[in-house]
Chains A and B, each alone.
Chain A
Amino acid sequence: MAERERRLTPPFGGVFVARKRVMGPDDVDRAVWRMAHEIIERNRGLEDVAIVGLQTGGVPLAHRLGEAMHQIDGVNVPVGSLDVAFYRDDIGLRPVLPEAVTDIAFDVGGRVVVLVDDVLFTGRTIRAALDALTDHGRARSVQLAVMVDRGHRELPIRPDYVGKNLPTRRDEVVNVADDGVELGEMMK
């Protein structure tokens, strides 16, 4: 999730305070490695597969998955990044600004696109991402990989590859960083 949105959004403006570390750096590595294998297995190789990370949390994860796949299969999978700000369903309800410029340098048409994000929560970002992706072309299929699925879906969306299923309360916050995953809350 976007640092800037967090900063601008009224209920936030606070500081993230970790209460519990739920994954260490090794756990994240192993999850990336396993998900890379699962993606290869599910698609019977990496032909036509492309990875698209969602700004901002999904982008580093997308690159790590790409590197892992390269190590496993020797194939360079194209990796892109997608910002969904202009496709959100809460424009006008809260501050919405893009985090970064979308960068998809390959043709989406006919590919299997694996969307990657750090945390799957309400599903609304993924809904927006599906719309955004469609504007870049008609993918043959779209799959979803997330490091943490924390539940509380508000839309009929489910992930295909999950690093960790993490039961949470709605008011908790999940922070995915390079060195692991923490569960905590925002303090004013």
Chain B
Amino acid sequence: MTSLLTAEQLSLGEVEDLFGLADSFLEVSSRRMPKVPALRGKTVVSLFFEDSTRTRLSFETAAKRLSADVMTFPVAASSVNKGESVRDTIETIEAMGIDAIVVRHRYAGVPHQIAGWTSASVINAGDGAHEHPTQALLDAFTLRQHFGSVEGLRVAIVGDIRHSRVARSNVALLASLGAEVTLVAPGTLLPPTVAGWPTTTTSELDEVLGSVDVVYLLRMQTERMREHLVPSLREYRARYGLTAERATRMKSGAVIMHPGPMNRGVEIAGEVAELPNALVVDQVRNGVAVRMAVLFWLLGSGVGPHDGPVESDPSGAERTVDG
């Protein structure tokens, strides 16, 4: 079995396959009966050591629309709280017979570790400040849907880059798809080094606002203030918030994105989130289709990452040319 752990692991061809699948699953989602039998008999477990209602619901909706069975592992109410190790937890749920585990954990690398302990597919739904590959996929898919292609787009990712797995995965995927990414943040919210990142960096939002096609705002977490990384939310908003006034200075045709949940009035003004060029709702809708694509790609398509040779049909060639 194979896993989706990082955005970097995906080749361009694999991203294209995933986007093609997501196109099909968007059509499925638009039906009166938005469900296909593709993953009947497969079991998907969501294992969220860190709370995230939105991402968990998105994955669970995706799995159910593919007719997979879904188990939610209630970490808070489980034996994890009685001191069971992650490894024992994985071995226990694996013994029940499962096909995929969707994992979120506050520490970077936990999904990779889990992938080494199980033969089920592991999908990284966010690990620490490291990666969140399905978020990057749904963001790139949303841009492709809106602009036709990601190539050549100029994207500003604004905010707490340092603590953001969304930023890391997005930088990797968008750059590989040919976008020009600029990181916009005060020095305190940048990683210790961005050497080797395929990006440019600035601390002035106003400098790039008029020239980018995409303003991608990250959630500003209030605990960053307690850590004294920003002086105050008001000051942050003054320099980095997408206010109504700033939104008018965006390039014509440019769009606004946010991974949610939004802090209205901090990184994004309430009325800006409602603008027609704010794609936040599209991101959520596309999220389900993209996660369906990832689940089907790993569990059903037979063309997932690093798959060995697919079991050949014993009856041979004729199987493919049927009517």
Residues in A lying within 8 Å of B, measured CB to CB: 1-2, 5-6, 8-12, 83, 85-87, 90-98, 100-103, 117-126, 131-132, 135-137, 146, 149-150, 152, 170-171, 173-174, 186
A146–B321 alpha-carbon span in the complex (Å): 13
User: Besides the contacts A6-B321, A132-B36, A171-B318, what 7 more A-B pairs have beta carbons closer than 8 Å?
Assistant: A5-B320, A9-B319, A10-B310, A95-B310, A121-B322, A125-B322, A146-B323
Q: Please name all residues of chain B whose beta carbon is closer than 8 Å to the beta carbon of A149 when the two chains form the complex.
A: 323
Q: Please name all residues of chain A whose beta carbon is closer than 8 Å to the beta carbon of B33 when the two chains form the complex.
A: 135-136
Known contacts A91-B300, A96-B302, A97-B301; decide if A85 and B322 are in contact (CB<8 Å). no
A132–B38 alpha-carbon span in the complex (Å): 11
- Contact assessment for A120 and B323 in the assembled complex, using a CB-CB cutoff below 8 Å: yes
Q: Please name all residues of chain A whose beta carbon is closer than 8 Å to the beta carbon of B23 when the two chains form the complex.
A: 101
- Contact assessment for B323 and A93 in the assembled complex, using a CB-CB cutoff below 8 Å: no
Q: Please name all residues of chain B whose beta carbon is closer than 8 Å to the beta carbon of A83 when the two chains form the complex.
A: 24
Known contacts A95-B310, A96-B301; decide if A87 and B322 are in contact (CB<8 Å). no
A2–B320 alpha-carbon span in the complex (Å): 8
Q: Please name all residues of chain B whose beta carbon is closer than 8 Å to the beta carbon of A91 when the two chains form the complex.
A: 38-39, 300, 302
- Contact assessment for B323 and A121 in the assembled complex, using a CB-CB cutoff below 8 Å: yes
Q: Please name all residues of chain B whose beta carbon is closer than 8 Å to the beta carbon of A119 when the two chains form the complex.
A: 321-323
Q: Please name all residues of chain B whose beta carbon is closer than 8 Å to the beta carbon of A124 when the two chains form the complex.
A: 319, 322
**Which of A2, A87, A122, A146 interacts with B36 by CB under 8 Å?**
A87
The answer to the question of B245 belonging to the interface, with a C-beta cut-off of 8 Å to chain A, is no
Q: Please name all residues of chain A whose beta carbon is closer than 8 Å to the beta carbon of B322 when the two chains form the complex.
A: 1, 119-125
- Contact assessment for B38 and A87 in the assembled complex, using a CB-CB cutoff below 8 Å: yes
- Contact assessment for B37 and A10 in the assembled complex, using a CB-CB cutoff below 8 Å: no
Interface SS of chain A: helix, strand, loop or mixed?
Answer: loop
The answer to the question of B317 belonging to the interface, with a C-beta cut-off of 8 Å to chain A, is yes
- Contact assessment for A101 and B24 in the assembled complex, using a CB-CB cutoff below 8 Å: yes
Chain A, Cβ-Cβ closest to B303? A95
**Which of A10, A97, A125, A170 interacts with B21 by CB under 8 Å?**
A97
Q: Please name all residues of chain B whose beta carbon is closer than 8 Å to the beta carbon of A2 when the two chains form the complex.
A: 320
A100–B20 alpha-carbon span in the complex (Å): 8
- Contact assessment for B301 and A95 in the assembled complex, using a CB-CB cutoff below 8 Å: yes
Count how many pairs of residues, one from A and one from B, have CB atoms less than 8 Å apart in the complex. 126
A97–B24 alpha-carbon span in the complex (Å): 10
Interface residues on B, range: 35 or more
Interface SS of chain B: helix, strand, loop or mixed?
Answer: loop
The answer to the question of B193 belonging to the interface, with a C-beta cut-off of 8 Å to chain A, is no
- Contact assessment for B36 and A92 in the assembled complex, using a CB-CB cutoff below 8 Å: no
The answer to the question of B27 belonging to the interface, with a C-beta cut-off of 8 Å to chain A, is yes
Known contacts A8-B303, A122-B322; decide if A135 and B31 are in contact (CB<8 Å). yes
Q: Please name all residues of chain B whose beta carbon is closer than 8 Å to the beta carbon of A123 when the two chains form the complex.
A: 322-323
Q: Can you list the 3 inter-chain pairs with the closest CB atoms, starting with the nearest?
A: A120-B323, A121-B322, A86-B36
- Contact assessment for A135 and B313 in the assembled complex, using a CB-CB cutoff below 8 Å: no
A67–B27 alpha-carbon span in the complex (Å): 26
The answer to the question of B163 belonging to the interface, with a C-beta cut-off of 8 Å to chain A, is no
- Contact assessment for B316 and A171 in the assembled complex, using a CB-CB cutoff below 8 Å: yes
Q: Could you write out 29 A-B pairs with CB less than 8 Å apart?
A: A2-B320, A6-B321, A8-B302, A10-B309, A11-B313, A11-B319, A12-B317, A86-B36, A86-B38, A86-B296, A91-B39, A92-B300, A93-B310, A93-B311, A94-B319, A97-B17, A97-B303, A100-B24, A101-B24, A103-B27, A118-B323, A122-B318, A122-B319, A124-B319, A125-B322, A125-B323, A149-B323, A150-B323, A170-B318
A96–B318 alpha-carbon span in the complex (Å): 15
Chain B, Cβ-Cβ closest to A169? B318
- Contact assessment for B312 and A85 in the assembled complex, using a CB-CB cutoff below 8 Å: no
**Which of B36, B38, B66, B317 interacts with A11 by CB under 8 Å?**
B317
Best-buried of B66, B319, B323 by chain A (most CB within 10 Å): B323
A13–B35 alpha-carbon span in the complex (Å): 32
- Contact assessment for B312 and A10 in the assembled complex, using a CB-CB cutoff below 8 Å: yes
**Which of B20, B27, B309, B320 interacts with A12 by CB under 8 Å?**
B320
Q: Please name all residues of chain B whose beta carbon is closer than 8 Å to the beta carbon of A174 when the two chains form the complex.
A: 321
Chain A, Cβ-Cβ closest to B292? A86
- Contact assessment for A98 and B321 in the assembled complex, using a CB-CB cutoff below 8 Å: no
The answer to the question of B110 belonging to the interface, with a C-beta cut-off of 8 Å to chain A, is no
Q: Please name all residues of chain B whose beta carbon is closer than 8 Å to the beta carbon of A132 when the two chains form the complex.
A: 36
A118–B318 alpha-carbon span in the complex (Å): 15
**Which of A12, A86, A100, A186 interacts with B28 by CB under 8 Å?**
A86
Known contacts A86-B36, A96-B300; decide if A102 and B27 are in contact (CB<8 Å). yes
A124–B320 alpha-carbon span in the complex (Å): 10
**Which of B24, B303, B320 interacts with A6 by CB under 8 Å?**
B320
Q: Please name all residues of chain B whose beta carbon is closer than 8 Å to the beta carbon of A118 when the two chains form the complex.
A: 323
**Which of B36, B302, B321, B323 interacts with A94 by CB under 8 Å?**
B302
